[in-house]
């Protein structure tokens, strides 16, 4: 096997599919405050789900009626966010019962 060279060509479309285009995520002061009060496992689950959305992975997301905001379901918690194309602003995060009343 010594001296054998292998030439590999990669199709441009295949190469581009491996490039991850991640949206930038920002958290509002209210979202940061509510996340800071949460248990570490719940907070980590919310961060993971928001990051998955920013990477373009499929998450349970719906548009809120009468608003330009979206919600992501993370177990019993909900994350309210504003998707602005390349930027995602997390407006609020918390338990599903009271998150919509803010």
Query: Could you write out the DSSP letters of every residue in the chain?
Result: -TT--------HHHHHHTS--PPEEEE-HHHHHHHHTS-HHHHHHHHHHHHHHHHT----EEEPTTSS-EEEEETTEEEEEEE-SSEEEEEEEEETTTGGG-
Query: Quick one: pLDDT at residue 22?
Result: 80
Query: Quick one: pLDDT at residue 7?
Result: 54
Domains (range + CATH), the chain = 22-101 (3.30.2310.20)
Query: Quick one: pLDDT at residue 99?
Result: 80
Per-position pLDDT tens, the chain of length 102:
455 555 555 555 555 555 556 888 999 999 999 999 999 999 999 999 999 999 888 999 999 998 899 999 999 999 999 988 888 999 999 998 878 775
Query: Quick one: pLDDT at residue 56?
Result: 87
């Amino acid at each position: 096997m010594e001296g054998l060279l292998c030439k590999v060509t990669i199709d441009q479309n295949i190469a581009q599919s491996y490039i991850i285009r991640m949206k930038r995520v920002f958290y509002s002061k209210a979202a940061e405050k509510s996340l800071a009060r949460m248990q570490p496992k719940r907070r980590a689950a919310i961060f993971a789900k928001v990051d998955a959305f920013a990477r373009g992975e499929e998450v349970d997301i719906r548009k809120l009626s009468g608003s330009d905001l979206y919600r992501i379901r993370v177990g019993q918690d909900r994350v309210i966010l504003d998707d602005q194309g390349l930027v995602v602003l997390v407006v609020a995060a918390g338990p599903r019962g009271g998150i919509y009343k803010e």
